Amino acid sequence: MTTSAASPHSEKVAAQQPRLGKSFTAAAIGNAVEWYDWTIYSTFAVYFSVQFFDPSDPTVALLSTFGIFAVGFFVRPLGGWLLGIYADRKGRKAALSLTIIMMAIPTFVISFAPTYATIGLAAPLVLTMARLVQGFAAGGESGGSMAFLSEIAPPGKRGMYTSMWYSTVAAGMIIATVLGYALSRALTPAQMSTFGWRIPFIIGGVAGLIGLWIRRSVDESRVFEAADDALRPSKNPLVILFRDYPRQTVRVFALTAGASVGFYTFVSYLPTLLIKSIKLPADQTFAVHTTALFVFMIALPLLGRLSDTVGRRPVGFAYTFGGAVAIVPLTSMLEPSFLTALLVDIVLMLLLASMYGVLAALMTEQFPTEMRAVGIGTPYNLATAVFGGTAPFLLTWLAGRGQQATYFGYVAVLMAIAGVALLLSKESHQHEITAIGR
């Protein structure tokens, strides 16, 4: 397969997106809602784990809960593949409307699910099925949403626009942690465990329906509409992906492996680590992590914009090689001190921001329009499942054996591998996205 060359027409299409503000807002709000729904599971797992599993051993219950967390990730590649194909054939708008409703319904199911004490082993089964559907939706969201943002971005600002995908992820997580902080202050630990954890799931389900209404009101990407229908693969897009874009696919996988293990360790799991292993009080933990996530959210578009000027690689190297050197010493500093935890968490978030400020742009620049959503969605979600989805379980298990430092050494190795992939990548920040291919 060959790709189309950059042309004045394609540049004009990218520059003249209609109702840009509304399109961006719809993508941003919908993404924030979806990732709020996805994140509240790990944020409140320490409270509801004993509701879905035998409460006689809280550690085993928490491990089992994070086991389901990992299972949800293993259907993400399937969602990235199938919903990526759907987005490349039917459009970004149709795919993004589908993913948000597939996230909202299971959130409602979890919020009203019966407990282990009520229905026994059927309780974790309900939880597992809900997370499988959410995992499928999350897989489809990433490729379709990143492709949409890259295609509506004005010329010269693709890094900034696509980095906002992760800013909205952070926004959803901030809402989840703020709610966690508020509930932990308003309710006792026993109340949080019995009914308090259900509140954020109910809110998430309602917000998902509102997000669906917003997304259905936006225009399709003009870049997608202008693409030649004849170039869109009608059969075996996965075969075409690995046959015609092997280097790009491996590159996205390696970059995501190093990025996602850090993301799901320090963004999703850190509150649980601070509460359970470091013994920082829950209200202080949520205050620390909310502040650090806010720094992460603000830093992302700034670093994305910087990459539009200096290139993707110089910005990303701060995380890959800098993080590989610093991660073990940084995490060894964690202790039950508010100021120390805050300092370490902010530094970790800034390191992550240097990678996630450029990651979406790097991935969208690997593939042409007709393969962009499936090209991102398949390797991105496969790497996220293998390395991101297992991170909380692996860290919980190793920390319980007193081998927490071993886990962070493993994270450092994956960061370095991502750095090698970044080093071998060509700079593409000045290219028009329809021109990027083999």
Of the candidates 363, 414, 405, 361, the one whose C-alpha atom is nearest the C-alpha of residue 157 is 361
Please tell me the predicted confidence (pLDDT) of residue 227.
64
As a whole number, mean pLDDT of residues 194-205 equals 89
As a whole number of angstroms, the distance between CA 14 and CA 433 comes to: 9
pLDDT band, very low/low/confident/very high, at 91 (cuts 50, 70, 90): confident
Q: Is 33 in contact with 208 (CB distance < 8 Å)?
A: yes
As a whole number of angstroms, the distance between CA 201 and CA 107 comes to: 6
Task: Name the maximum alpha-carbon separation found in the chain.
Answer: 67
Encoded tokens for 314: 């110089």
* Chain segment 225-257, per-residue pLDDT in tens: 666 555 555 567 778 888 888 999 999 999 999
- 397 burial level (CB within 10 Å; 0-12, 13-18, 19+): middle
DSSP state letters, 301-361: HHHHHHHHHH-HHHHHHHHHHHHHHHHHHHHHT--S-HHHHHHHHHHHHHHHHHHHHHHHH
As a whole number of angstroms, the distance between CA 141 and CA 21 comes to: 20
Q: Return mean pLDDT, the chain.
A: 82
Please tell me the predicted confidence (pLDDT) of residue 250.
93
Please tell me the predicted confidence (pLDDT) of residue 15.
43
Q: Is 320 in contact with 419 (CB distance < 8 Å)?
A: yes
pLDDT band, very low/low/confident/very high, at 359 (cuts 50, 70, 90): very high
Residue 12 has pLDDT above 80, yes or no: no
